Structure 1
Amino acid sequence: MERTLTVLRVALYHPTQVPAAFSSVPPRLQHDTSPLLVGRGQKAHLQLKLPHLSRRHLSLEPYRERGSAVLSFCLKVLSHKGSMWVNGLRLRYLEQVPLSTFNRITFSGVQMLIHVEVGVSLEAFVCCFHLSPAPLIYRLEAEETDEDEIIPQQQPPQDSGERTPAHLGVLQGPSQTQDSSPQPSPGRAEIQLQREAPEDAHC
């Protein structure tokens, strides 16, 4: 019997709406358990032709927690350009954070939603991509912006002296990856993704 693959349903939006920017995005991509690279370069598995991105901007990295029979994922920043926001957490170069079931990600003007549908296969996973004509994330918090972005956005507040969360940059076991802060409620676009998602790995 074929083992069900884990599916990452990825929705993408960029305010410039340049068709060429997403011309290399496939509707479906099956990948092994090596890191999946996102960036501007030709060697990126998900290539976004946006001038403000690095050739290797970020990676989605599958891993298996101790005692678990399913794949988990983390997002790792590979770019020196600015910073990235993942579920309200600010990440910089080489920092990483585990992904939850629903994830809000912003970088260089790109808005990305990732919905993880867990399967039982440990050999590969599938990404299904959807290009959105409308914004996916309606940020209520002004801090979810990047002062280093070239694309005009709302200015972030002055440095409040907040400390980097302890789990950034380190993958930890299941007992240590629990975040005491509440998870953000899924927005309208996330709920729509959840309703439209079929039960199998077909996109």
Structure 2
Amino acid sequence: MMNVSETMETEEDLLTCLHIKLYHPQQNCKGLYSLLRLGNRSRHSADDPFRLGRDTQACTFGLFDARVSRKQLALHAYRKPQSPDMLFTIQNLSQRGQLSVNGSVLGYLERMDLPDKALIRFGEYEMLIVRESGEAKGSFEVEFEVLAVPPSRETCMCVPTNTPVMDTGSYVTSTFQAELRAHFPLETDETLLCHTG
């Protein structure tokens, strides 16, 4: 028979953490995130689904927004045989709306494996979920944060450590380089004449 202390996770166990970064166009004028503990990690049992929605009784976390479904989405933790990693699936619980994961649309009750870095969209919300690996088997942590810009347009969300930085002082993904060229010159030539008209 195993001792209880042998089966419990110790304080030294590194928990898997889901960093959830939220954005909504009207987040500054409404208390959309007033039900969330922003910037604080909270611990959750891996055998219970993590639910997000409007109904704080049925969901682990709530969004204060009448346009959000009562139960919007669920994250389910799982492990593969002989693998130490805690992985997650995401499931759309909304009958009213679709949910997209990195551009793949999920209908009601459909689910898929959650990549280590995923852009989730529902309604006008954008959520960037980043999984930080851990060793503990029975629980994981969640940390919410609010982004000032949509993660789909965030310019520094995936900079590898060996990626050169442009002369502008910030890294821009290739999808935004064309947009920048259309609005701002990336290089200037002092010999160009300024035309007035």
Deviation at 1:190, TM superposition (A): 2.5
Give the alignment partner of residue 115 of structure 1, picking from 127, 130, 133.
Answer: 130
Give the alignment partner of residue 36 of structure 2, picking from 21, 25, 42.
Answer: 25
TM-score, reference length from structure 2: 0.69
Give the alignment partner of residue 24 of structure 2, picking from 10, 14, 34.
Answer: 14
The correspondence of residues 69-148 of structure 1 with structure 2, limited to 5 A, is: 69-138=84-153
Aligned to 1:66: 81
Give me the whole-angstrom Cα distance separating, in 2, the residues matched to 1:11 and 1:108: 16
Give me the whole-angstrom Cα distance separating, in 2, the residues matched to 1:5 and 1:88: 29
Give me the whole-angstrom Cα distance separating, in 2, the residues matched to 1:19 and 1:136: 19
Tell me the alpha carbon deviations over residues 81-127 of structure 1, each in whole angstroms, 9 at most, x when there is no partner.
Answer: 12011011010100001111110110011100001011010111111
Deviation at 1:132, TM superposition (A): 1.3
Deviation at 1:189, TM superposition (A): 4.7
Gaps of 5+ in 2: 1-9, 162-197
Change (3 A) 1:189 1:96: farther
Change (3 A) 1:189 1:41: farther
TM-score, reference length from structure 1: 0.67
Percent of residue pairs bearing the same amino acid type: 31
Give me the whole-angstrom Cα distance separating, in 2, the residues matched to 1:5 and 1:42: 25
Structure 1 runs of 4+ aligned residues shifted over 4 Å read: none
Counterpart contact for 1:24–1:47, Cα < 8 Å: yes
Give the alignment partner of residue 37 of structure 1, picking from 25, 41, 51.
Answer: 51
Give the alignment partner of residue 191 of structure 1, picking from 150, 158, 167.
Answer: 158
Structural RMSD (CA): 1.8
Tell which structure's C-alpha radius of gyration is larger: 2
